[in-house]
Amino acid sequence: MTESGYQDREQSELKHYAIKLYLEAAARILGSAWNLKYVDCCAGPWNSTKSDYSDTSFGIAFEVLRAAREELSSRSWAPQVACLFIEKEMAPFSELDAFAKAKNSPDLRVRAENWDFAERMDEIVRYCSSPRTFPFILIDPWGWKLAGISQISPLLKLKRGEVVINLMSSFITRFVNDNATDLSDLLGKDFPELRRLSGSEREFAVVRKYCDLIKREGDFAYVCALPVMKPDSDAFNFYLIYATRHPKGVDVFKRVEKRTEERTQVVRADVQKRQRQERTGNFELFEPDVQYRERKYQQLATDNRGRAQRQILDHLKMAGDVPYDDCWAEALQYSAVYQSDLRSWIDAWEKEGTVLVKGRKFPTELLKRDCGHLLAYRGESVLT
């Protein structure tokens, strides 16, 4: 077993890494104005090897919220912070309940419930609806059925709150062809149309469709999808779908996505090195990243940059002056696309004369949200 305790389930390591980074930032931002509630709908523990549960989503969330509360309390406003951890199966629930009882305190209320979360929507909604409260919801089931829109709709419709859902894209993409499987609750009634697509096009469409339905159901302004790769093959395992109503949330989550992308390379390079050594029996002197191989993520990034550029140019062609903020929102909801990409495209479009930028206060001003920058389409490039 590796020191991290995640050997052979490195995808969970990456998931936990992303959840931790997101909660650390979000709790500090939102906890300075709101009381916080955190609900883990499928808490486990599942395959935990650490006695302090520091390798579980609930153990990580508790520790992050405890630290955030402590830090915020030293400032003027001390938010009330509480956690609800839900687990359906009795054996893991017993462990979860013992954890909750040990950690519960007047400063940070921790409660575990032996519930099927899908059957307890009213209670969860009531829990999240106390005054001046901002809820974070994590939905991380096995498989994909419990991620269906009708199953989780009341949580999406909470007036305030952010939701992270584990979408098992690798299963779903395979099941699209199976006539016996109805994916309409996940991907809409027209999901059979996805059968026309194959490979990464289909995978992209599955994730995009789900994000669109989540956005519509919860009236979210932004939904992002953070890809998590399989540790030992060049493929995606699942996506963390993140829904928010605030652009600041997108800022935070895209930073999380970037750091998770970097962490993915480290974790997968280690796995590949371990596998090579097991195969050959040779001890390697190189750092693991020297021989790191990966194509899938790079392909997604290239494809999504192309998709985002086309979408923005189409939008600019149809509209008059378009706020930079709208282009930012369109671009960043594509996985593996970042603000630096958007700025470099606009820079190139400006240079070739395709797009005019208005509203800069001085010629070298960096394009940013909330600064009144506008983009206008001027016609096909004179260079192409």
Ligand X SMILES: C[S@@+](CC[C@H](N)C(=O)[O-])C[C@H]1O[C@@H](n2cnc3c(N)ncnc32)[C@H](O)[C@@H]1O
Output 15 or 254, the one with its CB closest to ligand X: 15
d(C-alpha 182, C-alpha 187), whole Å = 9
- Indicate whether 163 belongs to the interface with ligand X (CB under 6 A): no
At closest approach, how far in Å is the CB of 102 from ligand X? Answer: 17
Among 132, 117, 154, CA closest to 82:
132
3-class SS at 241?
A: strand
At closest approach, how far in Å is the CB of 124 from ligand X? Answer: 11
Nearest position to ligand X, beta carbon: 42
Of 20-28, 83-91, 190-198, 333-341, which part binds ligand X (CB under 6 A)? Answer: 83-91
- Indicate whether 365 belongs to the interface with ligand X (CB under 6 A): no
The footprint of ligand X on this chain (CB under 6 A) covers a number of residues equal to 20
- Indicate whether 171 belongs to the interface with ligand X (CB under 6 A): no
At closest approach, how far in Å is the CB of 103 from ligand X? Answer: 16
- The phi and psi torsions of 74 (rounded to 5 degrees) equal -75, -10
């903020």: which residue's tokens? Answer: 325
- Indicate whether 141 belongs to the interface with ligand X (CB under 6 A): yes
Site string for ligand X, 91-110 (x = CB under 6 A): -x------------------
At closest approach, how far in Å is the CB of 247 from ligand X? Answer: 27
* Beta strand 355-358 pairing with 236-244: unpaired
Among 69, 50, 60, 59, CA closest to 1:
50
- Indicate whether 146 belongs to the interface with ligand X (CB under 6 A): yes
- Indicate whether 148 belongs to the interface with ligand X (CB under 6 A): no
- Is the Cβ–Cβ distance between 380 and 313 less than 8 Å? no
DSSP string, 166-197: EE-HHHHHHHTT-TT---HHHH-TTGGGGGG-
d(C-alpha 136, C-alpha 32), whole Å = 15
- Indicate whether 57 belongs to the interface with ligand X (CB under 6 A): yes
- Indicate whether 10 belongs to the interface with ligand X (CB under 6 A): no
Of 36-44, 218-226, 276-284, 332-340, which part binds ligand X (CB under 6 A)? Answer: 36-44
The full 3-state SS of 112-123, as one line of letters, equals: EECCCHHHCHHH
* Beta strand 162-167 pairing with 222-229: unpaired
- Indicate whether 116 belongs to the interface with ligand X (CB under 6 A): yes
Binding site for ligand X (CB under 6 A): 12, 15, 42-44, 46, 56-57, 86-89, 92, 116-118, 140-142, 146
